[in-house]
Amino acid sequence: MENNFTQTKKVTFDRNSAVSMNEIAKTVFAPIYPVIARNAISITGIEKGRCLDLGSGPGMLAIAMAVEAPGFEVVALDFNDDAHELAACNIAKAGLGDRIRTISGDVQNIPYEDGQIDLIVSRGSMFFWDDLAGAFRDIWRVLAPGGATYIGGGFGNLMLRDQVIREMAVRDPEWKCYAKKMDDEGLTRFKKMFTEIGCEDYYRIIDDDTGMWVVLRKPERS
Ligand code: SAM
């Protein structure tokens, strides 16, 4: 599997990028997180247990998951400590400090034992993962039997997508929308990757107005 599949240049995640993502997440992007959280719950049918948000940035999806499903214990993982600091602040302001934990970690080496996570969500992060196959191998490993993923990018629905793209074009003409449509080459690469990981019978790619999402579902213990 090659590197991140839509990126052509390396993106640096530092304090500036964390601050800028925090600002966007709390303004232009703010309405998308509850919609994405509801989509994740309705597509996977999972609304309780441990929910892990990978590449959580300022924590807005983690917050939306906790708000939408009171049965979740949510963990927000990111490798950028500056993002954690901002996420911790947002989580405290939302009054969810007892339901959401922030942890440092890389998606390629998730700090959990096998089979510990019921739902793994992630938005706008997968496109930057250096080793996509390594990340999905670890995601599959930590997923609990019966667990599922909702990992990808997008804005929740067509109206929000158009609204965000319009507003971002005004704010920042350089802004790139990485939530692109999946082409045949991308689909072939995902199929090959999931075959190598051994979960080729358990994945589905959603590519519609909600965005592009990888849904993996681990079978229940037999
Ligand atoms: N998910 C958040 C959102 O939608 O508001 C943040 C999206 S931001 C564009 C991408 C995030 O992914 C950054 O916070 C970055 O630090 C994180 N990230 C990128 N690669 C990562 C990796 N290999 N492990 C953990 N976090 C990663």
Q: Specify the ligand 1 atom closest to the Cα of 107.
A: 24
74 CA to centre of ligand 1 in angstroms = 16
pLDDT, one tens digit for every residue, the chain (222 residues):
344 455 555 678 999 999 999 999 999 999 999 999 999 999 999 999 999 999 999 999 999 999 999 999 999 999 999 999 999 999 999 999 999 999 999 999 999 999 999 999 999 999 999 999 999 999 999 999 999 999 999 999 999 999 999 999 999 888 877 656 788 998 999 999 999 999 999 999 999 999 999 999 999 975
Q: Specify the ligand 1 atom closest to the Cα of 11.
A: 19
Are 22 and 57 in contact by the 8 Å Cβ rule? The answer is: yes
Are 200 and 191 in contact by the 8 Å Cβ rule? The answer is: yes
Check pocket membership of 202 for ligand 1, CB cut-off 6 A.
no
Check pocket membership of 46 for ligand 1, CB cut-off 6 A.
no
One-letter-per-residue 3-state SS of 144-210? EEEEEEEEEECCCCHHHHHHHHHHHHHHCCCCCCCCCCCCHHHHHHHHHHHHHHCCCCCEEEEEECC
Nearest CA to ligand 1 atom 14: 57
